[in-house]
């Protein structure tokens, strides 16, 4: 599947603000600063479609991007950002849960983790939540460009063991080098045709 067009459509902090459309949606979840927005940009071949920052906490609402005039990528605020107060973290948590729980058009969730770091407790909680609600999920281990070749096999095993993933549920990617992104696009296409 080739992404020919990508357009920022709208932002939402609650259900009433979600855009009305017929297509399906793909959501990008993960810790703050892990690289969710960067992956959306890399997949769409655009530098500044989704805002990115070296400072965590850049994305503060659900952002909807219309792809090929057909389906949506949904960028969400990162979880586990300690500098956010408890109240804010709960607010973001509820915003994400409401989306995951209520959005019938949600086709597939990408859970983004850092390829260099073992999944955190927040990552495990998020994956359990997705499994509990039967939301099809693919784990994308990103920033692979920063992972030494010698560490690759060890990291793969430890991520798979911690999250209890099969081989098909984990892909190593990089927004920087675009490693693995053709495979992600293939998976999106398969999912759209299902």
The beta-carbon contacts of 79-82 under 8 Å, at least 24 apart in sequence, are 79/29, 79/30, 79/31, 79/32, 79/122, 79/126, 80/31, 80/32, 80/120, 80/122, 81/31, 81/32, 81/33, 81/56, 81/57
To the nearest whole angstrom, how small is the minimum distance from the Cβ of residue 170 to Mg ion?
22
Nearer CB in complex with ligand GTP: 142/155: 142
Residue 135, binding choice from Mg ion, ligand GTP, none, Cβ under 5 to 8 Å by partner class = none
21: exposed, middle or buried (Cβ count in 10 Å: 0-12, 13-18, 19+): middle
| 155: contact with ligand GTP by CB under 6 A | no
Nearer CB in complex with Mg ion: 59/137: 59
Nearer CB in complex with ligand GTP: 161/182: 182
Chain centre distance of CA 135: 13
The pair phi, psi for residue 89, each rounded to 5°, is -65, -40
Q: Which of 6, 25, 32, 159 binds ligand GTP (CB under 6 A)?
A: 32
Q: Which of 59, 137, 142, 144 binds Mg ion (CB under 5 A)?
A: 59
The site map against ligand GTP for 64-103 (x = CB under 6 A) is: -------------xx-------------------------
| 180: contact with ligand GTP by CB under 6 A | no
Residues 6 or more apart from 127 whose CB is under 8 A from it? 111, 119, 137, 139, 163
Q: Which of 5, 45, 53, 118 binds ligand GTP (CB under 6 A)?
A: 53
CA geometry: angle 32, 34, 37, nearest 5 deg: 90
> Across the strands, what pairs with 74?
27, 64
Residue 142, binding choice from ligand GTP, Mg ion, none, Cβ under 5 to 8 Å by partner class = ligand GTP
| 58: contact with ligand GTP by CB under 6 A | yes
Instruction: Note the residues at the interface with ligand GTP (CB under 6 A).
Output: 30, 32-38, 52-54, 56-59, 77-78, 142-143, 145-146, 174-176
Instruction: Note the residues at the interface with Mg ion (CB under 5 A).
Output: 36-37, 58-59
């Amino acid at each position: 599947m080739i992404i020919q067009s990508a357009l920022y459509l709208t932002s939402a902090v609650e259900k009433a603000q979600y855009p009305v459309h017929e297509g399906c949606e793909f959501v990008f979840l993960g810790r703050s600063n892990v690289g969710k927005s960067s992956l959306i940009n890399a997949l769409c071949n655009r530098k500044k479609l989704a805002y990115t920052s070296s400072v965590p906490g850049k994305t503060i609402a659900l952002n909807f991007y219309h792809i090929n005039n057909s389906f949506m990528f949904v960028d969400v605020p990162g979880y586990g950002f300690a500098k956010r107060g408890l109240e804010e973290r709960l607010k973001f948590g509820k915003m994400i849960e409401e989306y995951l729980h209520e959005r019938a058009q949600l086709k597939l969730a990408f859970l983004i983790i850092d390829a260099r770091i073992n999944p955190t407790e927040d990552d495990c909680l998020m994956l359990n939540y997705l499994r509990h609600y039967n939301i099809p999920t693919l784990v994308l281990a990103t920033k692979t460009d920063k992972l030494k070749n010698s560490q690759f096999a060890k990291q793969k095993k430890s991520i798979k063991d911690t999250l209890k993933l099969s081989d098909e549920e984990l892909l190593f990617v990089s927004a920087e080098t675009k490693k693995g992104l053709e495979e992600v696009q293939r998976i999106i296409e398969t999912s759209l045709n299902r």
